[in-house]
Structure 1
């Protein structure tokens, strides 16, 4: 069982100045934060890709490569690589290089992307959203499995008896991230690829049918059950006193949810939603360490997970609070969860 942290590199918004912090400052803070996570024995770090003014990371592979030089043990993964708008050959080269630099700690988590800004930037048509991902994932997995590849598709130049360099010393670990569509779950199961579910709203229990569907289809297609990997990635924040969450963290969290929500037609995010998400049935893993640990344990046991990731920087909380959240997660939550699972 692996317990990780995830970030998108959210920029802190300064209300007094009316602007976001600089990307340079946020990236510098992130290096310090992930270095701490590694020192505390947290298993993995997952970093998202975005092309928006409120995030600092458009190239996870570059940031993860920088992190590989200041960490020793923590796995370094994208979360996600928007494969639909990327070149799978370049992505394979990037993450193979990262894997070599980090002594085998790199992972590529591929997704279709819930944000679409990357499509026009890289010259892709949103009308091809599903076809692009299907074709590019197929190519990426062939690159992972074959040294010499001949391949032809619709959206990029064909490869004819081509070898892509550098070559990995071990097969590149590729996951598929899903938001909850049965088609995406079925694809991952059919291919025998590890799956990670983004559960950021409603009740985690609602995902039970999808996770059971993945397990059934994974076995149906003849994949080795002993190698099956299932993860969940959810919003989290650990504090010493849960009363501080509504006063100190809720404004950051709500502001970010509302920035996204205005573009997607959501209603304004309320404090009632926030508190409901922190309830035992909700999808927010926030509060004091015991409270968060109990909720993670329940989720792991409910689904039979092999990985759980705490996404901790939604809304760009300040550096001091993020460092404290990582410290509490690494010193209190992670040991408590692993101890409970070991007993079981």
Structure 2
């Protein structure tokens, strides 16, 4: 069971003071977070790609590379790369470069993108949303499989027996499929035998169990060893020394950011304290509390979904940097050991 951090490099105004972390400062904070996560013993750190003013993460591979030479063991991944609006050859080159700098610790998490700003920015038509992802995923997997590539599609110029360099240290370079709960994405990942990451930011995580089963059935039907599949989840949360402190620190930034997104997407119902507190319950999708409580929720997630990796998304809205670093430290030094001990006890007795 791997445990790590995910972030979109939030740079939103603080809901109380109105102070805004500028993009340059947020990027430097991210490098420090990765170093602290590595020192705390966490397994992975992921940065999501976005192209809007309230996030600084438009180039995840660059930020991850900045921390690669300052860390020793932590894996470094996008969370996610919006593959539909990017060039798969360039994506492979960037993460193969990161893989070389980090000596084999890079990963790509590829998704279609729940935020769509990159499509008009890079000249792509949203009418081709699904077709773009399918085609570009096919090319990315071809590039990672072979130094010389021959390929033809409908949305990108063809490649005729050309080499792609540098080659990654890892062969193959890990590529995950990221999904917000789309059955087609789960089935596609299973058919291809690729690891999958589910974003679970609302409702009860156990409701994703049918998607996990769909993923496994598709993998088995395609001839892949189900026992070797990897499943990750990504959920919002925060760890502090007490559950009360965690709940208070995380509420206002979370409320502010969720209401911004809610207005953009027409969710209608404002995000309030009752919604927040319900999500913090044991079966809810928010992992907010002291180390023991957060660990209990991760163990329950493992029981219900069989996950092999858990991402805690700490910065939903702008949080004080020192509090974020403390949360990362607690996740690595307190939460993860509890989870590992409890899973060893439970699964060792089965």
TM score, norm. by length of structure 2: 0.96
The equivalences for 1:7-86 within 5 A come to 7-14=7-14, 18=18, 20-86=20-86
1:101 aligns with 2:101: yes
Per the alignment, residue 175 of structure 1 pairs with 176
The equivalences for 1:127-276 within 5 A come to 127-169=127-169, 170-266=171-267, 267-276=269-278
Structure 2 distance, partners of 1:339, 1:243, is 25
Equivalent position SS for 1:104: coil
Deviation at 1:18, TM superposition (A): 4.3
Residues 305 and 16 (structure 1), Cα distance of their counterparts in 2 relative to 1, 3 Å cut: closer
Q: Over residues 181-213 of structure 1, what are the superposed CA-to-partner deviations in whole Å (9 max), with x where a residue is unaligned?
A: 111111111111110111110001111111011
Equivalent position SS for 2:77: strand
Per the alignment, residue 342 of structure 2 pairs with 340
Contact 1:238 1:325 in 2 (8 A): yes
Structure 2 distance, partners of 1:340, 1:19, is 41
Equivalent position SS for 2:283: coil
Contact 1:198 1:234 in 2 (8 A): yes
Contact 1:81 1:108 in 2 (8 A): yes
Contact 1:237 1:285 in 2 (8 A): yes
Per the alignment, residue 126 of structure 1 pairs with 126
Contact 2:15 2:256 in 1 (8 A): no
- In structure 1, stretches of 5+ residues that fail to align are none
Deviation at 1:19, TM superposition (A): 5.4
Per the alignment, residue 293 of structure 1 pairs with 295
Contact 1:12 1:318 in 2 (8 A): no
Structure 1 distance, partners of 2:145, 2:220, is 21
Per the alignment, residue 92 of structure 1 pairs with 92
Residues 103 and 279 (structure 1), Cα distance of their counterparts in 2 relative to 1, 3 Å cut: same
Residues 336 and 17 (structure 1), Cα distance of their counterparts in 2 relative to 1, 3 Å cut: closer
Deviation at 1:340, TM superposition (A): 1.1
Equivalent position SS for 2:103: coil
Structure 1 distance, partners of 2:16, 2:229, is 49
Structure 2 distance, partners of 1:34, 1:176, is 22
Q: Over residues 153-194 of structure 1, what are the superposed CA-to-partner deviations in whole Å (9 max), with x where a residue is unaligned?
A: 011110011111112232111000001111111111111111
Per the alignment, residue 280 of structure 2 pairs with 278
Deviation at 1:259, TM superposition (A): 1.1
Residue of 313, 332, 335 corresponding to 1:311:
313
Structure 2 distance, partners of 1:168, 1:56, is 26
Alignment length, in residue pairs?
A: 344
Residues 163 and 201 (structure 1), Cα distance of their counterparts in 2 relative to 1, 3 Å cut: same
Contact 2:33 2:325 in 1 (8 A): yes
Equivalent position SS for 1:13: coil
TM score, norm. by length of structure 1: 0.97
